[in-house]
Amino acid sequence: MLFRLAPGDPVARMVDPMWTPEEVEYVMSQLGLDQPIWTQYLFYLKNFFSGNFGVSFHYGEPVHEIIWKRLPNTILLFTTSTILAALAGVFFGKIAAWRKGSKSDTWMTISALVCHTLFVPWFALMLVWILGYKVGWFPLNGIISPEIWVDESSGFLVKALDVLHHMLLPLMTLFVVQMGSYLLLMRSSMLGTLKEDYIVTARAKGLSEKVIRNHHAARNAALPVITSIGLSLAFSINGGALTETVFTWPGIGKELVFAVSNNDYPLAQACFLLIAAVVLTANLIVDVLYAYLDPRIRY
């Protein structure tokens, strides 16, 4: 709805200057743009609840079809990187806290800070430049190599490996960006846990240091990291949109940036609503999960 206030006339984008005024008017009425604004809004509400987000001005296809095509790519990239980053963050954060004050702790903390404050697009460009262009290990952008997919003889495995090959650089970018904050959080949470009485009890029972670290301290310390996955989702989505744009990874984030640059309001709106819905649902899931994992919490 807000999108209709925007400058930049979408019709001007579609209309061929050679068309007659009658033809222009016909297209306008087909798109419903000649109706008063409140009628457009009622239509919008009706369509919104029936899952119809309209037709993209740029692609000329229904928006929900475009979204369905892009969504798996984003989910693939995003969940893989988030899971890997959270696991690595918990693992290294645990070690950093366990060796608090040592050299390895200092280095791990500083590198985590560097990862956390890194400028994402620049880091992505550097990876493309060094690993993609100079060394040539990875493709520069995109998600598939057309020649492999056009070739009838290439099997599923070859195609999957091709996607993986394209995915490694964006994955690396998102992984590095996300891991820093998980590491810092796990470290501070673990430092708090190590002061608890039950750690002293575990020591007094004569348990080995490894058991204390992994089973008594780390398990409790990892809980806040799980909540933070929900809270830091906003931060990761920003990074994700930038990463997708730089690598032209055909996902929701790239599509949103593209739609905004091209005054493609229906597409931009749908992408944004989807992201907002995902963020809110994810936070809800995390809250529920937290209560399930930590029996001390009761709502």
Partner 1 sequence: MDTPSERIYLFNRLAKGWAVFRENLMGKIGLTLMIIFALMALASFFTPFLNPMYDPMTGVDPEISHATGPSLRHWLGTDFIGRDIFTQLLEGAKIAFMVGLSAAFISIVLGTIVGMFSGYMGGVVDTLLMRLADMIMVMPSLLILLLLSALFGQLNIWLIVLLIALLRWPGVSRVIRAQTLTLKQRPFIEAAKVAGASHLRVIFRHIMPNVLPLSFLYMTFRVTSAILVEAALAFLGFGDPSQVSWGMMLQWVWKTGHMFQAPYWLLPPGICISLLTLSFYMLGRAMDEVLDPRLRKEEHSD
Which residues bind to partner 1, rule: CB under 8 A?
Answer: 2-3, 5-8, 106, 110, 113-114, 116-123, 125-126, 128-129, 133, 181-182, 184-185, 188, 191, 228, 230-235, 237-238, 241-242, 245-246, 253, 256-257, 260-261, 263, 268, 272, 275-276, 279-280, 283
The length of the chain is 299
Question: With respect to partner 1, which residue has the nearer C-beta, 26 or 133?
Answer: 133
**Cβ 159 to partner 1 shortest distance, Å:** 28
Burial class of residue 267 (count of CB atoms within 10 Å of its CB; 0-12, 13-18, 19+): buried
Calpha distance 68→172 (Å, rounded) = 25
Give least dist CB 93 to partner 1, A. Answer: 11
Question: How far, in Å, CA of 9 to CA of 6, rounded?
Answer: 8
Residue closer to partner 1, measured from CB, 116 or 159? 116
Residues pairing with 55 in the sheet: 62
Q: How far is the CB of 38 from partner 1 (least distance, A)?
A: 19
Q: Which is nearer to partner 1, 273 or 293 (CB)?
A: 273
Coil vs helix vs strand at 287: helix
Task: Give me the least distance between CB of 234 and partner 1, in Å please.
Answer: 4
Least distance to partner 1, CB of residue 114, Å: 6
Q: Which is nearer to partner 1, 195 or 210 (CB)?
A: 195
Smaller CB separation from partner 1, 207 or 286? 286
Burial bucket for residue 255 (CB in 10 Å: 0-12, 13-18, 19+):
buried
Kindly provide the b/e burial profile for residues 159-188, where b requires at least 16 CB atoms within 10 angstroms of the residue's own CB: eeebeebbbebbbbbbbbbbbbbbbbbbbb
Q: Is the dihedral of CA 195, 199, 204, 206 positive or negative?
A: negative
Orientation of helix 233-246 relative to helix 252-261, angle to 10°: 70
Residue with smaller CB distance to partner 1, 73 or 109: 109
* Shortest distance, position 164 Cβ to partner 1, whole Å: 24
